[in-house]
A and B are shown apart, each in its own frame.
Chain A
Amino acid sequence: MNSPAFNNQNRWMIIFLAVIAVVLAVLPLLVKTSIIRLVTEVAILALFAMAWNLTLGATGIFSFGHGGLFGIGMYTLAIMMVKFSIPFPIAFVCAPVFTGLASFIIGLVCIRLTGLYFAILTLAFSQLIWSFIWKARDLTGGDDGISGTTLPSFINSPTDLYYFVILVVAVAIFMIWYLLRSPLGFTLNTLRENPIRAEAIGLNVAKYRILAFTLSGLFAGLAGGLLAMYMRGAYVEFASVAYCFDPVFICIIGGIWVFAGPIVGAFIWLALDHYIPMITEYWPLIAGIILISLVLFMPMGVLGSTLGWWRHQKLKKSEALSRLSASLSPASLSSTQQSGKEESIG
């Protein structure tokens, strides 16, 4: 039955996106540069978290190794531009490509294991990458990092960088959205829900998991490249354990199973990370409490719980309405109630 609710929702979504686009476009005219830089950082982080969520939210595999992948993206851009003077367009494309390649190889190795073992193995690879970055001073600058990536000629100010980043991130997120709505996306969801059954109906679970991990690494590398532009260089701490944990935190805050969850999470997390250390030096304590509270009480994340609550309200409302109409019409009380329920769920 063609429920009017769906079309309504679609229309609201388009309006909402249009508003966001307008706000993002005119933001530099309204706020000062430091805020623009923060929003740029949020966008990069949101892309990173989105990329990571391709592993857990979409496919149900938990990767603790995206810190290393992020670092590969960052260092690819920086090394290519600074050490080898490769022009920006090539370096910018190579960042996600190399990271995708690396994550493909890592995925091949790790995918034979599941759950906890997969998480630890990816963490181990991330640590190996991090150690390599530390050690290979000639190539990567060790713990000094690489500084002095020149931005391409069309970017001359933080505002220019902001527009570039927002554009790239928007396109990337759109690609992820399209991917998740495609047959591939639904296949990944199937794997997540019931891998045994997926195998039983003939899906090659390992192949799809490797594919998801590779794509995830690709977008993470893209985010890394963008951060190299933002930071004007590459630094080893972005491949460290901290950046393995951060996307997890961000997605838990925002909601793993909601598409826009990582975006909301990135926003909230960066705000917290920026402002809480100004108030207290015990940010980890607060972070830990938030984390535990979220997992115990709001496992769907902020966005997930909000949407869930909203849908629950709509359900209650439509249920109340149908009950009202059923009580008013004397004929076939039970069948009216049943069809009312079907409509509100659909």
Chain B
Amino acid sequence: MDYLLLQIMAGIAKGMNIFLLSAGFTIIYGVLRVVNLAHPSLYLMSGYFAFSITQVLGSKIGYWGALVLAPIFSAIIGMIVERVVFRTVYDKHHYMQLILGWGVMLILGDIMKLTWGVSPKSIPVPAILTGTIEVPGGSFPYTLIFAVMISALVGLGVYLLMYRSRLGTLIRALSYDEEATQALGVRVNLLWIFVFGFCSWLAGVGGTVASLFTSIRLGADQELVLICFIVVIVGGLGSTIGALVGSLIFGVVFSIGILVLPRYALVFMYVIMVIMLIIRPYGLFGKKIG
């Protein structure tokens, strides 16, 4: 029973990490109406970036440098992808975006394979984060606590940005009516690029933090695509709160699932998603977007 508590705590921590991934995805959809299948690829890519950066900077400041720099690289790549690929199809059928996103995912996946090779990578955990805390049921690693802290901090930052700043108001205006926002004199193009870059940065932070407790390997982006979709659909496309709730639900269900039926933990989540789509098609917090 205690072990169950530990698992659930770990699940919540990983869920908080997934929140960074899914928040970016859902904001891009909510504001820009774009489905970016390649978003999890940026999450994975920042893990690889973090690996290289820690190699270069050494073990003292390596990870902290990576935490700062890797998400920025992810953001840059995200913005490039947006400019080159998604620009032309943002008002077309969603299926075109899906296919384009999938193409980008394939390309980024192979670029990662080219650059970093096929063997999984891992990052040396900085000294301050090694160690565990004793909880009933076992020991809970500091890295997971760190993940929760970072996600909470960044989540707070996202809230402050979106609801307490002028920029956030403009972004929300953009999600309601792009033409009207443009008519106000706002440079919508720049806003677009910013949103894409910011969301890619979020994914980057998530990936860099995740590299502390998971190995960085090829193919993770494809698994994450499914997870990301499940999370945002359960939570509601377009809603950041939904992404948070969905991620937490995912974390808990998945960790319980691993205890019960290890290979099919994901199936539980699929079932939840199917049920959710049947009884509440737009997710817990989603709203029908045009």
Contact = CB atoms under 8 A, between A and B. Distances in A.
Interface of A: 56, 62, 109, 112-113, 115-117, 119-121, 123-125, 127-128, 131, 134-135, 241, 245, 248, 252, 282, 284-285, 287-292, 295-296, 299
Contact of A124 (B93, B263, B274): B274
B278 A116 contact: no
A282 B113 contact: yes
B226 interface: yes
Contacts of A245: 102
Contact of A295 (B103, B107, B113, B266): B103
B168 interface: no
Interface of B: 35, 85, 88-89, 93-96, 98-100, 102-107, 109-111, 113-114, 222, 226, 229-230, 233, 237, 263-264, 266-267, 270-271, 273-274, 277-278, 281
Contacts of A56: 95
Per DSSP, chain B at the interface is helix
A131 B267 contact: yes
B99 A285 contact: no
17 contacts: A56-B95, A109-B278, A115-B93, A119-B98, A120-B229, A120-B273, A121-B277, A124-B274, A128-B274, A131-B270, A248-B99, A284-B106, A285-B106, A287-B103, A288-B104, A288-B109, A292-B100
**Nearest 10 pairs between A and B by C-beta?**
A288-B106, A285-B110, A291-B103, A288-B107, A292-B103, A62-B95, A288-B103, A284-B106, A116-B94, A131-B267
A259 B226 CA distance: 31
A243 to B, nearest CB: 14
Nearest to A116: B94
Contacts of A284: 106-107, 109-110
B233 A285 contact: no
Given A115-B94, A119-B95, A295-B103, 5 more contacts: A112-B281, A123-B226, A127-B267, A289-B103, A296-B85
B44 to A, nearest CB: 14
Contacts of A120: 229, 233, 273
Nearest to B106: A288
A241 B111 CA distance: 21
Contact of B107 (A109, A125, A131, A285): A285
Contacts of B85: 292, 296
Contacts of B98: 62, 116, 119
